[in-house]
Copies of this chain bind each other. A is one copy, B any other.
Amino acid sequence: MRSATPAPRERPHSATTADARGGGKAGGDGTVRGDDVAPGDDASRGDGSRVSGGRAGRRPVTSAAELERHALMIFEERGFDATTVDDIAAAAGIGRRTFFRYYASKNDVAWGEFDAHLETMRAGLAATPPDVPVLPALRRAILDFNTYPAAEADWHRRRMALILRTPALQAHSMLRYARWRAVVAEFVAERTGRGEGALEPQAVAWAFLGVAIAGYEEWLVRARADLIPILDRALGLLVDGLERSL
C-alpha cells in the first residue's frame, strides 16, 4: 500500500534541477543545501520503453511515497524544524513548488496516505454485525485500523515517533484526528440513534482517540514491544470502564 513506485525512467535534461531553489526574492549567491541526489534508487530501466498505462500527459518525476521516504529520513537525521522544504525537494530531485503539489504542507508528509487508510476503517465499522455492542466493535475496528504488516512495523514506529514527539506535528495531527473522530462518531451516532454531533458520539470518539494515542505513546517507549497488545489494553480501559481498571 505504501510502496507503489511508478515505473522509473532515466531523467533527460536533468541539468537544471541541481539548483532547484524556489521562492526567495533574495538574489543571493545560491545557498545550495541538498546535494543532487538521484530521484530514486530503484532499479533503472535501460531502454526507453513506453510502460505508461495509456495515461495522457507527462509522467510524474517522483511519487508521494518516495517523497515521504526522503522526508522522513531527513527529519530523523536533522530534526523536523531544522529541515526545510527545499531540503526535501532537493533530496528528491524536484523543485520546491513541485513538493507542494504532492503534499499540501511540510506537516502533511509525515502522515502519508492516512485518509485513504481511514476509509477502510469507516467501511469496516459499517460492516460490523449489529449484534456486536458498540464499544467492543470500536475496539476491534481500531485494532484492525492499526494493524500493519510486520514488514512495515519498523517504518510505522519511526513515523509515529516523529509525529508524536515533534510539537509542530503533534499540533498538526489534530486535524487528522478530527477526521478520525468523525468516523468513530458517525458509527456511534448510527448505533445509538443520536445525531452525529450530539454529545455522546463526540465524547466517545474523543475518548477512544485519547486512549489510543496513550497506547501509542506507551508503545514508543517500550523499545521492542508490539503495538496491538498495548493498544488493546488502552482500549480496554474504556470498554471495561475506567474505574474497574484503576
Do the beta carbons of A173 and B174 come within 8 Å of each other? yes
Contact sample, A vs B, 14 pairs, CB 8 Å cutoff: A25-B25, A135-B242, A135-B246, A171-B173, A171-B175, A173-B174, A188-B246, A198-B218, A203-B211, A203-B237, A207-B211, A207-B237, A239-B242, A241-B241
Interface membership of A18, Cβ < 8 A: no
| A178 & B174 in contact (Cβ 8 Å cutoff) | no
**Which of A178, A238, A246 counts the most chain B CB atoms within 10 A?**
A246
Q: How long is the Cα–Cα vector from A244 to B242 in the complex, in angstroms?
A: 12
Contacts of A233 in B (CB 8 A): 199
Q: How near does chain B come to A131, taking the closest CB pair, in angstroms?
A: 16
In the complex, chain B residues whose CB is within 8 Å of the CB of A167: 175
A120 within 8 A of B: no
Q: Which B residues touch A197, using CB under 8 A?
A: 217, 221
The count of chain A contact residues (Cβ–Cβ below 8 Å) is 45
Q: Is the CB of B174 within 8 A of A202?
A: no
Chain B residue at minimal CB-CB distance from A199: B218
Q: How far is the CA of A218 from the CA of B205 in the complex (A)?
A: 14
A188 to B242, CA, bound (A): 12
When distances are taken between beta carbons in the complex, the residues of chain B under 8 Å from A230 are: 199
Closest to A178 in B: B170
Instruction: Name the CB-closest residue of B to A245.
Output: B200
A217 touches B243 (CB 8 A): no
Other A-B contacts than A171-B172, A205-B214, 4 sampled, CB-CB below 8 A, are A203-B214, A206-B207, A207-B207, A207-B210
